[in-house]
Amino acid sequence: MGYNASREARRRRRRRKRILQTVLPILIPIVLMLVILVCVLNIDSCRNAFIGDLFEDLMYSSEKADLNEYFKTTPEDMNTSATVIEECEVTDEKITVKDGRLYLPYETVIEKYNPNFYWEKSSEKLLYTTGDGVYTATPGETFYTLDGTGIQAGYQTCYKEGDIVMVSLDFVRVFTNMEIRLFGGGKEPYRTLIRTSWENEVVADVTKDDVAIRTEPDKDGKIMKQLRKGSTVIIVASEGEKWMRVMSEDLITGYIETKHLGDKYDRPQTPVTNVAPIQVNMVADYSEPVILAWHNVVGDGSAASLKDNEKFLKYINTISPTWFALSDNEGTIASIASTAYVETCHSKGIKVWGLVSNLTYPEVSTSTVLNDPEKRQFMTEQLLAYASQFKLDGINLDFESIAGEDGPAYVQFIREFSLKAHEKNLVVSVDNYVPKEYTSHYNRKEQGTFADYVVIMGYDEHTSASDEAGSVASLGFVQEGIENTLAEVPKEKVINGLPFYTRYWTVDANENIIDMQTLPMTKAAETVSASGVTPEWDEETCQDYAEWANGANKNKIWIENVASLRAKLEVMKAHDIGGAAVWQLAFGTEEAFAVIDEYYRPSADTEM
């Protein structure tokens, strides 16, 4: 008989069955006894020795994490505040949740998200000004207005909590490119992520169902969340080869085993760009540079003073007489403007920007006026009326010594005034100190958004209040002023003011200031000439410098002349700014004016 493979296979199966029937009754009790022994002893060495990897998957913790503890909330406040997530990590910062919406204190809003909101304390209104006008929100109301026209919001735009103004981030988002992600509520604590800038994220997809995000990179870590296959997580960091720190789409950060994640890849974030930058229709013609002279006048003699300085007019295209002044705490503007003055300037092709100052009447509280919306409006109405009456081309705002706490009110005045002035076809320019940290409240960036020109008063580096004698405008001081202003203001809107004067110092043997005089250019040159000394060029300040003995004391002078002006003009031209201004008309010389023309109007016809 031949070999039958099928019959042989059946015989082998019968033999295996008889063996299993004999062995299994003995083997099963032994295995069960070993399992019981391991459980009783709970000794790692026994576990590894007897069962190895067989029971490893049974050792994962199934304990749920306390999300209130993780997000630093309590059951009492979990539905009234949201924990802020930054860079995928829990922070100590909390944001108020009201009716499912986020609210922040006004001070936090302007510090972190949008500095252009303005809280009007006297009327308790929240303002936001754009080229369209002034948006106004009232605490507790579910609508806001634009120049009086109502706009429904559907939520409280803001409310007061004691003295604290709470602002809805949804209202902030109306004027700000920002992304707000809010999760939680009900049985889970609120958490939020707020973005105002966007970069690519490194992410990965979960490859199986019921993958746990754990509190620790370990199987004993508590479960914070379980993910479905295909869920995407943000990669935060690697924790060795086996674990990855990740954040889920609903802002829970913890650990996942690397084996449950697919390949990492870059995911671009989509920026929020629905809010366009504030656009204000300007009146200025930026096609030609401004060559401006301030004209310091008093009483009713401005027309006569103009005639006295007529020889300088051919060198300028704009003049700013000091005609208007804040004269009382009600916002009244005093005027010494002259129709004849304007007619003379216009006949020579010179634009007139009337200057308004807060320094003429020192007893007046600028703070009182600026912080009252009705008084700000009153100032605006008067200035516009004067501009119409005297046919002015612009207004030059020269508000100095503004206190830090009054900075926001002053900037709001600039916003409101600029919009109204532009409606009347008036150019608005704003005078500013050389930028320093202690003048940051002047907010040159916002000035540059609403005003036609931001003017740097590029002088008074050393004054009577200084601790030491020094230059009125060293080259480094001027360059710093221009560059720091350009960091906030478009170059075509920047005008740099030049000094047509210097300071003449007397100091003692210890360099203490005994006396200081302010001298126009011609007088300074005469003073140095009378001393008999020859000035020497100072490379540091880029000015001629002279000093001489005066008894036991010493006289010092850093001279402003054509040479020092050239050095400053080189810097100004190199930065391609919008023009030059000089303080002031009567302090100049024809040579000084001519050198400015040489830089800014090289082909101008100066015959008048």
Task: Check if the beta carbon of residue 289 is closer than 8 Å to that of residue 600.
Answer: yes
- Taking the C-alpha atoms of residue 350 and residue 320, their distance in angstroms, rounded to an integer, is 10
Residue 36: predicted pLDDT: 61
- Taking the C-alpha atoms of residue 297 and residue 304, their distance in angstroms, rounded to an integer, is 10
Residue 470: predicted pLDDT: 98
Task: Check if the beta carbon of residue 431 is closer than 8 Å to that of residue 444.
Answer: no
DSSP string, 404-468: GGGHHHHHHHHHHHHHHHHHTT-EEEEEEESP-GGGGGG-HHHHHHHSSEEEEE---SS-TTSSS
Of 46-50, 255-259, 290-294, minimum mean pLDDT range: 46-50
Q: Which amino acid is present at 476?
A: G
Nearest C-alpha neighbor of 482 from the set 408, 545, 400, 567 = 567
Percent of the chain with pLDDT over 70: 89
Of 82-86, 100-104, 238-242, 379-383, minimum mean pLDDT range: 238-242
Residue 570: predicted pLDDT: 98
Helix H or strand E segment including 479: helix 475-486
SS3 of residue 569 by DSSP? helix
Topology (CATH) of 291-500+561-600:
TIM Barrel (3.20.20)
Asked whether residue 158 carries a pLDDT value surpassing 70, the answer given is: yes
* Domain spans in the chain, listed from the N-terminal domain onward: 67-184, 203-262, 291-500+561-600
- DSSP secondary-structure letter at 54? G
In the predicted model, what is the mean pLDDT of residues 572-592? 98
In the predicted model, what is the mean pLDDT of residues 499-520? 98
DSSP string, 143-157: EEEETTEEEE-SS-S
Residue 164: predicted pLDDT: 98
Residue 75: predicted pLDDT: 87
Please, which pLDDT band fits residue 601 given cuts at 50, 70 and 90? confident
Please list, residue by residue across 565-584, b when 16 or more beta carbons sit within 10 angstroms of its beta carbon and e when fewer do: bebbbebbeeeebbbbbbbb
Look at 10 and 549; give whichever has higher pLDDT: 549
E strands, 54-187, in order: 81-86, 89-98, 101-105, 117-120, 125-130, 133-137, 143-146, 149-152, 158-161, 164-168, 179-185
- Taking the C-alpha atoms of residue 212 and residue 221, their distance in angstroms, rounded to an integer, is 10
Please, which pLDDT band fits residue 241 given cuts at 50, 70 and 90? confident
Question: 552 CB contacts (<8 Å, ≥6 apart)?
Answer: 508, 509
CATH architecture of 203-262: Roll (2.30)
Nearest C-alpha neighbor of 321 from the set 344, 118, 486, 329 = 344
Please, which pLDDT band fits residue 76 given cuts at 50, 70 and 90? confident
Question: 326 CB contacts (<8 Å, ≥6 apart)?
Answer: 332, 333, 334, 356, 357, 358, 360, 361, 364, 366, 369, 379
SS3 of residue 488 by DSSP? coil
In the predicted model, what is the mean pLDDT of residues 551-570? 98
* The domain made up of 67-184 is a member of CATH 3.30.457.10: yes
Look at 314 and 240; give whichever has higher pLDDT: 314
What are the tens digits of pLDDT across the range 178-212?
A: 999 999 998 899 999 999 999 999 999 999 999 99
Asked whether residue 147 carries a pLDDT value surpassing 80, the answer given is: yes
Residue 56: predicted pLDDT: 54
The two domains 67-184 and 291-500+561-600 share their CATH topology (first three levels equal): no
Question: 416 CB contacts (<8 Å, ≥6 apart)?
Answer: 129, 134, 376, 377, 380
Cα separations in angstroms, 138 against 108, 155, 205, 304, 372: 18, 12, 46, 52, 17
Asked whether residue 528 carries a pLDDT value surpassing 50, the answer given is: yes
- DSSP secondary-structure letter at 315? G
Cα separations in angstroms, 210 against 59, 213, 215, 229: 16, 10, 16, 7
Of 239-243, 423-427, 568-572, minimum mean pLDDT range: 239-243
For 312, how many CA atoms within 13 A lie in the half-sphere containing its CB? 27
SS3 of residue 203 by DSSP? strand
What are the tens digits of pLDDT across the range 397-439?
A: 999 999 999 999 999 999 999 999 999 999 999 999 999 999 9
Q: Which tokens belong to 246?
A: 């990740």
- Taking the C-alpha atoms of residue 486 and residue 494, their distance in angstroms, rounded to an integer, is 7
- Taking the C-alpha atoms of residue 97 and residue 87, their distance in angstroms, rounded to an integer, is 21
DSSP string, 237-257: EEETTTEEEEE-TTS-EEEEE
- Taking the C-alpha atoms of residue 130 and residue 135, their distance in angstroms, rounded to an integer, is 8
- Mean of all residue pLDDT scores within the chain: 92
Positive or negative, the CA dihedral 354, 358, 360, 361 is positive
Return the number of other C-beta atoms located less than 10 Å from residue 202's C-beta: 11
| Residue in the block written with tokens 């919009």 | 419
Asked whether residue 27 carries a pLDDT value surpassing 70, the answer given is: no
